Amino acid sequence: MAALGPTPVAAAVPPAGGPALSARDLVFAYGRARPVLNGLSLQAGRARLLGILGPNGSGKTTLLRILVGLLRPAAGEVRLASVRLADYPREALARRVAYVPQETHAALGFTVLETVLMGRSPHTGALGFEASGDWLAVREALRMTDTEALAERGLDELSGGERQRVILARALAQAPELVLLDEPTAFLDIKHQHTIYGLLRRLVRERGMTVVCVSHDLNLAAAYADELVLLDGGRAARAGRPEEVLRPEVLAPVYGVPVEVRTDEATGRPYVLPRPPA
């Protein structure tokens, strides 16, 4: 992957101070079922990578969909900087926030290049005409996600992992301030898992982006996230730095399996080893 170049289109950076994204006392249920989220609060700092962890059914994907405005909570609120998400015009929200879902569906008839160009739609105005800056943003997004060689291929011709990288490229072409991703490495091999997380870290460090990333992989999250939030029972069971969250006494009751937590001598970060029940 190529190193990050100059940002083709400058994004408006909100004034410093306070979190980039916050949620307070979120409650959500599907129909009359028991709440998936039940009083959950969290915040993502500016230019930080926040990892969201939790077992299956803990509400990770539901939370992400609420944070981007695709679902409305029954109670509680989400804020971007100091502004309520519900008060944002759709066009303004699309320029500031990008969302990469776990499940991507091929848009028949569209090439990779055309798909990534769709990420520029919040910036192209009512007539939808692309400027040179839009094409520069698209080409850079393709380079960053190692998908430049796929540009002329149809989305429906790609593997699940290739398609996932293209959808990430589309989000990066959007030039957002905040990126939310649901299991972005779910279909990727080990090389591309670390490549994608490395890219997200560079976006945080070099572009000042805020990244919120749902992950099932505790060790990938530990290796790259600045902070973690562990969900359990519709609430945040623990939040903090990786070494504060990834502790045996915290993880074992949430995941229902004993674990050992060690420290990677090269990075100083924790890594988790599940242990079979006695």
Say whether pLDDT at 5 is over 90: no
Instruction: Tell me the CA distances in angstroms from 38 to 29, 56, 251, 253, one per residue in order.
Output: 9, 16, 20, 19
Q: 149 burial class (0-12, 13-18, 19+ CB within 10 angstroms)?
A: exposed
Beta-sheet pairing, 49-53 with 259-263? unpaired
Say whether pLDDT at 265 is over 90: yes
Q: What is the pLDDT of residues 228-243, one digit of tens each?
A: 999 999 999 999 999 9
pLDDT of residue 160: 81
Say whether pLDDT at 4 is over 60: no
Higher pLDDT, residue 187 or 215: 215
Would 161 be classed as within a structural domain?
yes
Specify whether the CB–CB gap between 89 and 122 falls below 8 A: no
Would 103 be classed as within a structural domain?
yes
> What's the predicted TM-score (pTM) here?
0.87
Say whether pLDDT at 172 is over 90: yes
Instruction: Tell me the CA distances in angstroms from 137 to 4, 101, 164, 175, one per residue in order.
Output: 11, 21, 18, 8
137 vs 140: CA distance, rounded Å: 5
Which letter, b or e, does each residue of 209-226 get, where b requires 16 or more Cβ atoms within 10 Å of its Cβ? bbbbbbbebbbbbbbbbb
Q: Would you give the DSSP letter of residue 161?
A: H
Helix (H) or strand (E) holding 224: helix 218-224
Average pLDDT value for residue range 7-25: 62
Would 122 be classed as within a structural domain?
yes
**pLDDT tier for residue 14 given thresholds of 50, 70 and 90:** very low
pLDDT of residue 242: 98
Average pLDDT value for residue range 137-166: 91
In this structure, the number of other CB atoms found within 10 A of the CB of residue 268 comes to 9
Say whether pLDDT at 44 is over 90: yes
Would 168 be classed as within a structural domain?
yes
pLDDT of residue 25: 98
**pLDDT tier for residue 15 given thresholds of 50, 70 and 90:** very low
**Which range is most confident: 82-86, 122-126, 239-243?**
239-243
Say whether pLDDT at 74 is over 70: yes
pLDDT of residue 159: 86
Terminal CA-CA length for the chain:
44
Would 3 be classed as within a structural domain?
no
**pLDDT tier for residue 103 given thresholds of 50, 70 and 90:** confident
Would 194 be classed as within a structural domain?
yes
**Helices and strands of the chain, counted as H and E runs:** 9, 12
Helix intervals (H) in 118-217: 132-144, 160-173, 190-207
Domain at 210, CATH number? 3.40.50.300
What's the structural domain count of the chain?
1
272 vs 264: CA distance, rounded Å: 10
Would 16 be classed as within a structural domain?
no
123 vs 152: CA distance, rounded Å: 23
Say whether pLDDT at 270 is over 90: yes
Average pLDDT value for residue range 189-206: 91
Average pLDDT value for residue range 8-22: 57
State what percent of residues in the chain have pLDDT above 90.
Answer: 70
Helix (H) or strand (E) holding 237: strand 235-240
Structural domain boundaries, residue 105: 21-274
Would 260 be classed as within a structural domain?
yes
pLDDT of residue 11: 35
Q: What is the CA radius of gyration of the chain?
A: 19
Say whether pLDDT at 149 is over 90: yes
**pLDDT tier for residue 186 given thresholds of 50, 70 and 90:** confident
Average pLDDT value for residue range 11-29: 76
**pLDDT tier for residue 187 given thresholds of 50, 70 and 90:** confident
Specify whether the CB–CB gap between 210 and 177 falls below 8 A: yes
In this structure, the number of other CB atoms found within 10 A of the CB of residue 41 comes to 14
Average pLDDT, the chain: 89
